[in-house]
Amino acid sequence: MKKSSACWTSSKSTTGAVTSSDRVSRSVPRSARQATNVHFFLNGLAFATWGVHVPTFKRLHSLSEVEVALAMLAAGVGALVAVLGAGALIGRFGARAVCAVSGLMTAAAIGAVLQLPSYWAGVMGLFVFGVANSLFDVAMNAHAVEVEAAYGRPIMSSCHGFFSLGGLAGAALASLLAVAGVAATTHTLWVAVGAAALTIAVVPSMLPDRARTTEEAGHSFMRPHGVIILLGAMAALGLVAEGAMYDWSVLYLRESLASPQALAALAYASFSVAMAIGRFAGDRARARWGAETLLSVGGTLAAIAMLAVLLIGHPAAALAGFALVGLGISNVVPVLFSCASRVPGISPAHGISGVAGLGYLGFLLGPPMIGAVAQVATLPVALCLVALFAAALAVLARRVLPIMGALGTSTDDRATRPVRAARQEPGRHG
């Protein structure tokens, strides 16, 4: 039986004839996909650059865990505020324009956050970083959806793989510069200048913004509903684990395991390497096993690995365990974002921003929750929440994805048939 997908429709007919989608696929400049990959890479680089300097920010202002958590909360609030309006902005101005502006804003925020003179100024800087990075995230995913549609085959997981490569590059660069004695403020300025230059360089290679429909441009906010809520809940669970690795893994090695800064910086690097491997293999894995198996097994792996890290309590085990956590949750966001872009009745940008908005609640609530528990107990105890949420993701994948129509590639025709029918209705996508 031929495999089919609830979130992907093949561009070839059953007779093997070349369709108009195939011709469009061949006409898409390869540079458009490369530009998309660069944006994902730069987003990952920005995240890692801040993530490895959480201890630097803490020492710079002599902060407690709660104060660090509040600073992270500011970034999360900024991200949530921005993502609620991201669909409307992209609908009005197009993904390319929003990518360009928000990419430059993200670079500027990274360069400024350690330069600001006080804790509260830093908090405001992180709020701006959250706003800029959230807009950048939704815009580059919306552009990736357009490139994916033009290619006629799934590419979303590999795009997110470049985000993980950016995280790896940012963490590795921080480790090397720490050994070389380069100041953290110098490091962040170098990253900001380089990211801004690359953003400007690749924007002309992106797909031109197509004409917007009234449906896409006419809504300032679209309240998540139905399938979007289910996708968003799963994204939130995955982003709790990802946010914890981003915000707390370096601090765990640095303070709980007394590791030197150069070694601690590798915590996020090991996580990012595994995320990249999982994502570059993700498109084929979905085709072979389906989204239900991919996400449920991944959530179980992440939960077990996180518990092992905390029980063993050794730097080497932590690095290996963080890598397995990364492998386990690597495809949560790309799979769910890709499916959100194809929900009947809403535009891709609004679908992605709806799921991203709920997903960012994981980023918003997860790290501060971990910080609050760490203040009352210890950071290792607090990180048990990561295992709990990863296990919940595994359970939810088994319960929800069959109901939603096997969101990845599946041989279950009964699951895919309703979604196909909905996709064929005229005028529903915008």
Comparing CA positions, the residue from 381, 207, 392, 210 lying closest to residue 295 is 392
Higher per-residue confidence, 367 vs 307:
307
221 near 91, Cβ under 8 Å? no
Q: Provide DSSP, 204-222.
A: GGSPPPPPPPHHHHS-S--
The three-point CA angle 279-366-158 to 5° equals 10
- Band the pLDDT of 403: cuts 50, 70, 90: low
- In sign, the C-alpha dihedral spanning 187, 191, 192, 194 is positive
Give the pLDDT of residue 424.
33
Q: What is the pLDDT of residues 355-384, one digit of tens each?
A: 888 887 777 777 778 888 888 888 899 899
Give the pLDDT of residue 233.
87
Give the pLDDT of residue 260.
83
Q: Which amino acid is at 241?
A: A
Q: Give the burial string for 360-393 (b: 16+ CB within 10 Å, else e).
A: bbbbbbbbbbbbebbbeeebeebbbbbbebbbbb
Phi-psi region of 259 (alpha: psi -120 to 50; beta: other; left: phi over 0): beta
5 near 335, Cβ under 8 Å? no
The three-point CA angle 73-184-65 to 5° equals 35
Q: How many residues make up the chain in this entry?
A: 430
242 near 329, Cβ under 8 Å? yes
- When mean pLDDT is compared across 129-133, 195-199, 269-273, the lowest value belongs to 269-273
Residue 340's Cβ-count burial label (10 Å; 0-12, 13-18, 19+) is buried
Query: At a CB cut-off of 8 Å and minimum separation 6, what does 334 contact?
Result: 156, 157, 159, 160, 279, 282
Higher per-residue confidence, 339 vs 43:
43
**Euclidean distance between CA atoms 353 and 362, whole angstroms:** 14
Residue with tokens 């669970």: 237
Comparing CA positions, the residue from 405, 180, 202, 417 lying closest to residue 290 is 405
Give the pLDDT of residue 53.
87
387: Cα within 13 Å, side-chain hemisphere: 15
299 near 390, Cβ under 8 Å? yes
Q: What is the pLDDT of residues 215-229, one digit of tens each?
A: 444 444 455 556 788
Q: What is the pLDDT of residues 64-99, one digit of tens each?
A: 878 888 888 888 788 888 888 888 888 888 889 999
Comparing CA positions, the residue from 130, 121, 107 lying closest to residue 57 is 121
Query: At a CB cut-off of 8 Å and minimum separation 6, what does 316 contact?
Result: none
Give the pLDDT of residue 224.
53
- When mean pLDDT is compared across 130-144, 235-249, 377-391, the lowest value belongs to 235-249
- Band the pLDDT of 11: cuts 50, 70, 90: very low
**Euclidean distance between CA atoms 93 and 260, whole angstroms:** 46
- Band the pLDDT of 111: cuts 50, 70, 90: very high
Mean of per-residue pLDDT scores for the chain: 80
- Band the pLDDT of 423: cuts 50, 70, 90: very low
Asked if residue 399 has pLDDT above 90, the reply is no
**Euclidean distance between CA atoms 157 and 139, whole angstroms:** 16
Higher per-residue confidence, 319 vs 17:
319
- Band the pLDDT of 37: cuts 50, 70, 90: very high
Give the pLDDT of residue 218.
47
Structure tokens at 208: 């031109």
The three-point CA angle 57-63-68 to 5° equals 65
Q: What is the pLDDT of residues 153-184, one digit of tens each?
A: 778 889 998 988 888 888 889 888 888 888 88
DSSP 410: E
Strand partners, 409: 5
Asked if residue 212 has pLDDT above 70, the reply is no
**Euclidean distance between CA atoms 45 and 333, whole angstroms:** 17
Secondary element (H or E) of residue 195: helix 184-202
Asked if residue 422 has pLDDT above 50, the reply is no
Asked if residue 320 has pLDDT above 90, the reply is yes
Residue 47's Cβ-count burial label (10 Å; 0-12, 13-18, 19+) is buried
Query: What's the average model confidence in pLDDT over 129-137?
Result: 92
DSSP 34: H
Percent of the chain's residues with pLDDT above 90: 29
Give the pLDDT of residue 41.
95
User: Which range, 105-109, 142-146, 333-337, is most confident?
Assistant: 105-109
Q: Give me the numbers of helices (H) and strands (E) for the chain, helices first please.
A: 19, 2
Asked if residue 321 has pLDDT above 80, the reply is yes
- Band the pLDDT of 139: cuts 50, 70, 90: very high
